[in-house]
């Protein structure tokens, strides 16, 4: 089986994309999804977060939730709001993100390919992972896929630099798009459809020549797809689910933002004692304004209404793809030994703030008294993520925050029997 293949996408009917497209299911709580979908009867949230159509007290993992998702999908199909392409297609997906708060540059634009990616290549690690998954979240996606007989949340993948792949995808994204939606957050989502068999074959062949693809976001969705495929294989339904919905961007277009940390207390230390002990691993500079770390190894620290710039001592940066990450350096030389944060996954004293919220959010969390101290990090780079995946390792929790986010509902993947 090829690394990727064209497929018969399930898409909004002409003129319906704006009514259907929705934020990813995993960036909204149930309460937020209810509010977002209010007055929008065809929002894809009725499929991706179907608990919004049931009593507020319902367990979002209850069987009735998945049944409601299937009911809502059937309702949209019956109304002709969603239609399936007659023949296998590839789709170009362009994201345009206006200059984010605090940035001086223009719009960020990335153009990728919507495709069905091979479960076999995921299982063999040719489609490479960099995160652990949680069984409960995998179980949720398995139940959703089985209830719908479809994958509706795309996995975000990256491919290594390839001028030929870039050119083939850019050639799809010409003329009037099949869908053109600007979401409430200002992100523009555009979809173009490729039906030409010769050009489809050229794309498939180009990707088959790649050594690997890399999961950027969607580890639970891809793991769930693998589980569904394995179960159906065992049941004698081999052709049913051997690929999963993916959007694949060139790695050099991907935008990773900082993923910052806030901590509730100073682990019994006074401010002066903490600052003094920082000198063992960092140089510490008083900064009159906010600290936006300009390069790897630099950190901003907000404490007691003041920003300081911390720079890790170069001799402490190891030659290891995981331990050399800024998120690891901060944990290994500050959060752990000084603030007593040993387990980022379970310690309730630490929280994480995506860079899209800006440094003002860090100040707010500390100035309110909710948190005692905040740390601004330099964003993890795509080449670092790929190096970790290539080494068969995993990154620490909350290492990457990708923006812009994909929308749900613009292209879904029906599992063929």
Same domain, 277 and 191: no
pLDDT at 67 (0 to 100): 98
Q: Are 90 and 194 in contact (CB under 8 A)?
A: yes
The tens digit of pLDDT for each residue in 249-264 reads 999 999 999 999 999 9
Is the residue at 398 inside a domain?
no
Query: In Å, how far from its chain's centre is CA 380?
Result: 14
Query: If you average pLDDT over residues 346-363, what whole number do you get?
Result: 93
Which residue bears the tokens 């890790």? Answer: 312
Same domain, 22 and 80: yes
Is the predicted pLDDT of residue 316 greater than 60, yes or no?
A: yes
Q: Which two tokens stand for residue 202?
A: 């050229």
411 CB burial (10 A radius; 0-12, 13-18, 19+): buried
Helices (H), 49-112: 63-78
Residues 6+ apart with CB under 8 A from 7: 88, 89, 115, 116, 243, 413
The tens digit of pLDDT for each residue in 207-256 reads 999 999 999 999 999 999 999 999 999 988 867 799 999 999 999 999 99
Distance CA 165, CA 320 (A): 30
Task: Single out the residue of 364, 376, 238 nearest to residue 311, CA to CA.
Answer: 376
Is the residue at 395 inside a domain?
no
Is the predicted pLDDT of residue 102 greater than 60, yes or no?
A: no
79-99 burial string, b = 16+ CB within 10 Å, else e? eebbeebeeebbbbbbbbbee
Same domain, 263 and 182: no
Same domain, 246 and 266: no
A 10 A CB-CB count for 170 gives: 12
Same domain, 159 and 102: yes
Same domain, 92 and 217: yes
Same domain, 135 and 41: yes
The tens digit of pLDDT for each residue in 128-145 reads 999 989 899 999 999 999
Task: Provide, rounded to the nearest whole percent, the portion of the chain with pLDDT above 90.
Answer: 91
Is the predicted pLDDT of residue 326 greater than 50, yes or no?
A: yes
The tens digit of pLDDT for each residue in 53-95 reads 999 999 999 999 999 999 999 999 999 999 999 999 999 999 9
Same domain, 251 and 289: no
DSSP bridge pairs for 413:
9, 151
CATH code, domain carrying 369 = 3.30.1760
Same domain, 217 and 132: yes
Task: Single out the residue of 364, 363, 350, 367 nearest to residue 265, CA to CA.
Answer: 350
Same domain, 171 and 119: yes
pLDDT at 103 (0 to 100): 46
Measured between alpha carbons, how far is residue 25 from residues 5, 12, 234, 383 in Å? 25, 18, 29, 27
Query: Domain range holding 343?
Result: 259-378
Number of domains in the chain: 2
pLDDT at 105 (0 to 100): 61
Torsion-angle region of 185 (φ positive above 0: left; ψ -120 to 50: alpha; else: beta): alpha
Q: Which long-range contacts (CB under 8 A, 24 or more apart) does 56-61 make?
A: 56/30, 56/31, 60/30, 61/136, 61/139, 61/140, 61/143
Is the residue at 397 inside a domain?
no
Same domain, 290 and 249: no
Length of the chain: 417
Same domain, 265 and 192: no
pLDDT at 417 (0 to 100): 56
Distance CA 132, CA 145 (A): 20
């Amino acid at each position: 089986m090829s690394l990727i293949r064209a497929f018969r996408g399930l898409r909004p009917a002409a003129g319906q994309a704006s009514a259907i497209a929705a934020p990813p299911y995993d960036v909204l709580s149930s309460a937020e999804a209810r509010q977002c979908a209010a007055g929008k009867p065809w929002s894809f949230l009725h499929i991706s977060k179907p608990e919004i159509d049931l009593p507020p007290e319902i367990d979002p993992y209850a069987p009735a939730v998945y049944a409601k998702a299937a009911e809502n999908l059937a309702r949209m199909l019956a109304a002709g709001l969603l239609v399936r392409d007659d023949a296998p297609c590839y789709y170009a997906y362009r994201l345009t993100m206006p200059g984010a708060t605090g940035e001086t540059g223009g719009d960020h634009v990335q153009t990728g390919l919507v495709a069905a990616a091979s479960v076999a290549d995921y299982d063999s690690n040719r489609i490479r992972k960099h995160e652990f998954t949680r069984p409960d979240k995998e179980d949720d996606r398995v139940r959703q896929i089985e209830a719908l007989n479809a994958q509706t949340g795309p996995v975000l993948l990256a491919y290594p630099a390839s001028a030929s792949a870039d050119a083939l995808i850019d050639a799809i994204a010409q003329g009037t798009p099949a869908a053109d939606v600007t979401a409430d957050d200002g992100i523009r989502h555009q979809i173009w459809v490729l039906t030409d068999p010769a050009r489809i074959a050229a794309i498939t062949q180009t990707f088959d020549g790649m050594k690997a693809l890399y999961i950027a976001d969607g580890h639970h969705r891809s793991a769930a797809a693998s589980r569904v495929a394995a179960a159906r294989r065992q049941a004698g339904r081999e052709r049913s689910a051997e690929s999963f919905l993916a959007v694949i961007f060139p790695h050099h277009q991907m935008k990773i933002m900082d993923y910052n940390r806030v901590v509730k207390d100073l682990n019994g230390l006074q401010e002066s004692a903490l600052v003094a002990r920082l000198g063992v691993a960092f140089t510490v500079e008083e900064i009159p304004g906010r600290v936006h770390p300009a390069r790897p190894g630099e950190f901003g620290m907000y404490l007691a209404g003041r920003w300081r710039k911390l720079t890790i001592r170069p001799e402490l940066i190891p030659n290891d793809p995981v331990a050399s990450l800024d998120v690891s350096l901060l944990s290994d030389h500050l959060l752990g030994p000084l603030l007593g944060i040993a387990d980022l996954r379970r310690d309730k004293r630490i929280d994480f703030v995506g860079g899209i919220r800006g440094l003002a959010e860090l100040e707010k969390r500390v100035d309110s008294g909710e948190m005692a101290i905040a740390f601004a990090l330099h964003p993890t780079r795509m080449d670092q993520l790929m190096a970790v995946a290539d080494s068969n390792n995993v990154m620490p929790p909350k290492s990457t925050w990708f923006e812009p986010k994909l929308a749900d509902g613009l292209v879904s993947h029906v599992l063929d029997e």
